[in-house]
């Protein structure tokens, strides 16, 4: 997914820092479902939908609602008229959101690429950049956070947290059973040596 933004700059809504290097973009976007949210803080329909989208996003990523965040990232593509309007809008949105810098010409390229003609619009993408849903606004309104499961399956994400937990579980099992196996081996070896000694003593006496 970072390939879509290669050579581009994204803004981190938490610290207002730029996320621009290939490594930073990869860490922020890889193995996640990406939402491109085209909207404006001045548009009445966008304002109404943004509140719903904020709740939708928080219920999938905030530790208050979930034990671990879903593999989901959102990039806000602004149609605000001024940078101040964009900044004011983002201050009311989740800190995990990323945003295209105000006035970035790449916005027009994204609108053309994904055929965005009106806002609000939410384009749902796989990690490789393929489109899952061209505009998920109605789906989000109708189903809510439950629709993420469908996107997750379509994106064929690798659940790294699960794999790490599985590896840890296997390692824990090995750490518990290894001493038992070593003790069993030691006892078997000792018995074998004693039997060998008895056999040799018997041969010498005969």
Q: Is residue 24 included in any domain, yes or no?
A: yes
pLDDT at 174 over 50: no
Q: What is the pTM of this model?
A: 0.75
190 and 151 fall within a common domain: no
What pLDDT does 20 receive? Answer: 60
Q: Which of 34-38, 50-54, 158-162 has the lowest average pLDDT?
A: 158-162
CA distance 85 to 45: 16
The CATH number covering residue 76 comes to 3.40.30.10
Confidence bin at 54 (pLDDT 50/70/90): very high
Same domain, 13 and 107: yes
Q: Domain check: are 133 and 184 in the same one?
A: no
pLDDT digits (tens, 9 = 90+) for 87-117: 999 999 999 999 999 999 999 999 999 999 9
Q: How many domains does the chain have?
A: 2
Considering only 2-11, 73-82, 86-95, 97-106, which range has the smallest mean pLDDT?
A: 2-11
Q: Is residue 21 part of a domain?
A: yes
Residue ranges making up the domain that contains 15: 2-160
Same domain, 94 and 187: no
Pairs from 141-146 (Cβ < 8 Å, separation ≥ 24): 141/49, 141/52, 144/56, 144/59, 145/56, 145/59, 145/60
Give the model's pLDDT for residue 163. Answer: 44
* pLDDT of res. 3: 79
Go through 117-153 and write b for each residue having 16 or more CB atoms within 10 A of its CB, e for each that does not.
eebbbbbbbbbeeeebbebbbebbeeeebebbeebbe
């Amino acid at each position: 997914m970072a390939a879509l933004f290669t050579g581009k700059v994204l803004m981190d809504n938490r610290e207002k820092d730029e996320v621009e290097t290939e490594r930073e973009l990869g860490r922020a976007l890889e193995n996640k479902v990406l939402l491109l949210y085209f909207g404006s803080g001045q548009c009445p329909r966008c304002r109404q939908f943004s509140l719903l989208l904020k709740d939708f996003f928080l219920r999938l990523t905030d530790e208050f609602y979930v034990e671990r965040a879903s593999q989901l990232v959102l990039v806000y593509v602004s149609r605000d008229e001024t940078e101040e309007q964009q900044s004011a809008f983002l201050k009311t949105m989740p800190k995990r959101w990323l945003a295209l810098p105000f006035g970035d010409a790449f916005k027009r390229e994204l609108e053309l690429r994904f055929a965005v003609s009106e806002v609000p619009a939410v384009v749902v993408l796989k990690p490789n950049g393929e489109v899952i849903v061209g505009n998920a606004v109605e789906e989000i309104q109708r189903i809510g956070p439950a629709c993420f499961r469908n996107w997750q399956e379509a994106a064929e994400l690798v659940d790294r947290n699960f794999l790490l937990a599985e590896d840890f579980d296997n390692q824990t099992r090995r750490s518990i059973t290894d001493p038992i196996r070593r003790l069993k081996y030691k006892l078997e070896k000792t018995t074998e040596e004693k039997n060998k000694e008895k056999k040799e003593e018997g041969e010498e006496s005969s």
